[in-house]
Amino acid sequence: MKNKLPACPVETTLLLINNKWKVLILRDLLEGTKRFGELKKSIGSITQKVLTESLRTMEKDGLLTRKVYAEVPPRVGCLSAKRDKRIV
């Protein structure tokens, strides 16, 4: 995240996980690595656009990692939550 995070851990958590979709994404990724399609199916009513935007934001904020395979045709990367005592 580009901005400096607040000193209060609760405020930091609320700032980084600021909507219901991010909470559900983290819930599913804490169980283990998932691919985009698996994640979308497990969350259910989320649209592809919202899921993609949420994942990009979470990756930028350092909440998850993404692995992209250099193949033809391109294969969607796997997603996993970063296990961090400050978040979990």
Residue 36: which CATH number?
1.10.10.10
86 inside domain = no
Q: Extract the tokens encoding 45.
A: 């009513």
Average confidence score pLDDT of the chain: 82
Residue 77 has pLDDT above 70, yes or no: no
Q: For residue 79, with 0-12 CB atoms within 10 Å meaning exposed, 13-18 middle and 19 or more buried, which class applies? A: buried
Q: Are 57 and 67 a contacting pair, CB within 8 Å?
A: no
14 inside domain = yes
Residue 73: domain span: 9-81
Q: Are 13 and 87 a contacting pair, CB within 8 Å?
A: yes
30 inside domain = yes
- Prediction pTM value: 0.76
Q: Extract the tokens encoding 18.
A: 């600021």
Q: How many angstroms separate the Cα of 70 from the Cα of each of 8, 50, 77, 80?
A: 40, 25, 10, 18
Counted domains in the chain: 1
Greater confidence (10 vs 67) lies with 10
